[in-house]
Structure 1
Amino acid sequence: MTAKDHLLIETPSDGVRLLRLNRPDRRNALATPLLSRLARALEEAALDETIRVVVLTGDGTVFAAGADIRELAASGPDDAPHGPRQEAWDRIRDCPKPLIAAVEGWCLGAGCELLMCCDLSVAGEGARFGQPESSLGIMPGAGGTATLPRLVGRQLAMRMVLTGEMIDTARAVEAGLVGEAVPAGQALDRALDLARTIAGRAPVALRMAKASVRAAFDLPHGDHLLFERRRFLSLLGTGDKQEGVAAFLEKRKPVWQGR
């Protein structure tokens, strides 16, 4: 199988793109070719005006169990700090459209870091989340020490990273790593429900709102308020704003043009 075969691309409903990790023999291990293929698929969705939201999932037993150990074995300290793998991670994080994760089963190492790239998430009961890299003599390298503490707090992040202990879906929701828990096997259905709801909203507003919320990681509060206000004002000049207001006053469903 090629990297193309390792990512299945579907359009299950209007405005919704579904990406399925598909390396069942390797528990969806996130080798660099797969990460690069995923980055390209997200860029293609970003350029497609008919797509408004993307759902990312694995299968019923595993989201992604980590990096590809065989690839890791061939890596060394002289690898470029910003080589193809890091470039792929950056491109995934830069996806401008809402990205929803649907998780069943293992979500470990790089899989957990991929989850943290998503904007919303749904996990089935029985899913497991962790950063077990220290058992291999390494540490997380794509958000497991940088993003995880910002989501779950210092103590839980330290525990997950230093001990390698996994947490279950209920704990992940309580800590803020996952947005919603559902019965096992129902994560994808619920994520697609969320995606259809989001796909019915104004596309330009969705992109602006996502960018503004994510800026909370990077900007001081005062700077963020200005960042937010500028994007709010820019939306006042869009056709979608005019349509949204008109539809509200006329008591009808808006027809978004994405402009």
Structure 2
Amino acid sequence: MSASYATLLVEEHADRLVVTLHRPEARNAISGRMIAELHDVCAELERNPKLLLLTGHGGVFAGGADIAELRERGRDEALQGINSRLFERVHRLPMPTVAAVPGWALGGGAELAYACDVRIAGPEAAFGNPEPGLGILAAAGACRRLRELVGASVAKQVLLAGRTLDAQGALACGLVMDVVPADRLMTEAHTLLDRMARSSALALRLTKLVTDAPGAHPVADDLAQAVLFESPDKQERMTRFLEKNGGRT
């Protein structure tokens, strides 16, 4: 990618994009400028599908949305869904997305992490949605997405009772895949993406599409499988497997 960003650090690799939220003066708070730049990243990943690794600079994922900007937003801005439209776009990216959460992921930062397919955490990670204390609700996906991820009881503890899920709490309720030492977080995140990258890219795309489809139906599985059964990649992978195992299944 040739674009330069004011609020992001972007590294492009052959099979993945690594995006670091970078507003150190504001704990990586999600501003309008960051939203616009993340839309640019999404547009690139929609044109050229790759795995996405999303993290935050300086031991913080994102300390929330930019409160100064939120204070100036009114009804019209709320109806535009400024944050929610972006997070839904992240959620619908064609290839899997991983959030590596080193520390605080609050408010809009938590909602951005919830929008990713998989989360991996450092020991200082913490997820919370304190929006009602500011007179608003977590309207960028948390009210429905967190319930899907951890169940209604834990979601209401976070959204209504102000509970902050620390790393072990997030692991216990399945919000994160693993908790790893801080100095190993990015290494382990890349190891996870390496494992994904060894799979068929088309199979990953279709699996994600079927898994996320509302009102999933067996026919969707059949249609996706029909596409994959005709792919040269499937033939090559299964042939290698059989040759490696002497023709045994």
Distance 1:42 1:250, change over 3 A: farther
CA-to-aligned-CA distance 1:67-87 (integer Å, 9 cap, x gap): 110110111123352354443
1:33-44 superposed matches below 5 A: 33-44=33-44
Partners of 1:103 and 1:188 within 8 A in 2: no
Task: Give, as a single letter, the amino acid of the residue that structure 2 aligns with 1:90.
Answer: E
Partners of 2:102 and 2:185 within 8 A in 1: yes
Partners of 1:173 and 1:180 within 8 A in 2: yes
The corresponding residue for 2:11 is 10
Unaligned runs of 5+ in 1: 253-259
Match of 1:152 among 141, 150, 154: 150
The corresponding residue for 1:239 is 232
Q: Which moved more, 1:76-85 or 1:233-242?
A: 76-85
Structure 2 CA distance for aligned equivalents of residues 151 and 80 of structure 1: 25
Q: TM-score, normalization: structure 2?
A: 0.90
The corresponding residue for 1:229 is 222
Partners of 1:39 and 1:89 within 8 A in 2: no
Structure 1 CA distance for aligned equivalents of residues 118 and 220 of structure 2: 22
Unaligned runs of 5+ in 2: none
Q: Which moved more, 1:35-44 or 1:233-242?
A: 35-44
Task: Give, as a single letter, the amino acid of the residue that structure 1 aligns with 2:8.
Answer: L
Q: Helix, strand or coil for the counterpart of 2:119?
A: strand
Partners of 1:102 and 1:123 within 8 A in 2: yes
CA-to-aligned-CA distance 1:203-246 (integer Å, 9 cap, x gap): 1111001112223xx21xxx432212211111111121122122
Answering whether residue 45 of structure 2 is matched by residue 45 of structure 1, we say yes
Distance 1:176 1:239, change over 3 A: same
Shift of 1:250: 3.1
Shift of 1:39: 2.6
By relative contact order (CA 8 Å, sep 6+), the higher-ranking structure is 1
Task: Give, as a single letter, the amino acid of the residue that structure 2 aligns with 1:198.
Answer: M
1:71-86 superposed matches below 5 A: 71-79=69-77, 81-86=79-84
Q: Whose helix fraction is larger, Structure 1's or Structure 2's?
A: 2
CA-to-aligned-CA distance 1:177-225 (integer Å, 9 cap, x gap): 111111233222111111112112111111001112223xx21xxx432
Partners of 2:118 and 2:177 within 8 A in 1: yes
Q: Which moved more, 1:20-29 or 1:71-80?
A: 71-80
Partners of 2:87 and 2:141 within 8 A in 1: no
Match of 1:96 among 94, 97, 112: 94
The corresponding residue for 2:61 is 63
Structure 2 CA distance for aligned equivalents of residues 200 and 46 of structure 1: 20
Task: Report the identity percentage.
Answer: 36
Partners of 2:84 and 2:139 within 8 A in 1: no
Structure 2 CA distance for aligned equivalents of residues 87 and 160 of structure 1: 22
Q: TM-score, normalization: structure 1?
A: 0.87
CA-to-aligned-CA distance 1:116-160 (integer Å, 9 cap, x gap): 111111101121110111111111011111111111111111111
Structure 1 CA distance for aligned equivalents of residues 5 and 111 of structure 2: 21
The corresponding residue for 1:249 is 242
Structure 1 CA distance for aligned equivalents of residues 113 and 81 of structure 2: 21
Task: Give, as a single letter, the amino acid of the residue that structure 2 aligns with 1:76.
Answer: G
